[in-house]
Structure 1
């Protein structure tokens, strides 16, 4: 019976991390759409959502640490709980970066709307796909899918470098639009950081399933 109860608690822990992941996913997609459409109401939603994410993080951490202290799990169950704790932190930081995008959007509402030489739609979609795939790899226990998420991170890195270069060139050519371009640079950087957190989640899934630390295996790629 104690073992059955422990497995039920692990299932509950998994449900909680998936619910938090849904909040983080919504935060990213809402923040990007708010930036693209200059929607102040969505910016407010992202801020409220970030508060919910913070509350969920605290509750999940408390449950995970209680399981560690009370049950003293071994092997794969121990790795799962440790992975959940780390994933929890990355999901909270995804919420933080989404809020940063929303704040940039809100601050930019007083500026003249102009078209920037960056495909933020594609960058947002790629970042969101990384989060969805990372969480799906956790749900299914799929290390191969987690591997693919880490590979997608390179594409977002390339998008961010291109955005940074193009927006700096724009500032030189159109200094009157410097603030809009700078906001774009910060939004691009936030999306790149969100992608990094999605990659971290995938890394933790791999650790849970394979018992392998692969954090630095892709470190040869250029930032």
Structure 2
């Protein structure tokens, strides 16, 4: 039996970019989100690989930013993220206990997958979208191929995405792409160089806009 998914924030389908923040030190999560938003990236995924991540989520969410949390492996982490104010959850692979917790908490979950079987499993578990990871190992055409048997499944491309190739994934059917260190390098975050993050976010979204098919 397929579980009905909780929908993702509708703005994601418009913006089509999630900045994935992996950094050992974040001096001000709200300022980080504000800098990215100024550059056109309004959706930010903090991760459980970051120390004290729930505090960062709470600070950003309290300022009204659309933040989620990734690398969610256990139901307890989903519960912590929800309590902190996360608006969506992301996993690196199919995690049934996370999907169950997300359903119970009323949060959308983007479940990680790679193979066609894993995509089907993620859909049955109630994924709002399926994260294809590592996307760059297979290329944009792989998403087009997946949409053959799964034409209505929202796919998010993650892993090895940059300004030069992001549009190709969107043009081959991705709902959104995940932007990593090209947009949010850990050293710039640690330094609180928000101007640099805005510049990087704007460069990424500008390249995306110029490369998209009409």
The structure with the largest helix share of the pair is 1
Higher strand share: 2
Q: Which has the larger radius of gyration?
A: 1
TM-score computed with the length of structure 1 as normaliser:
0.29
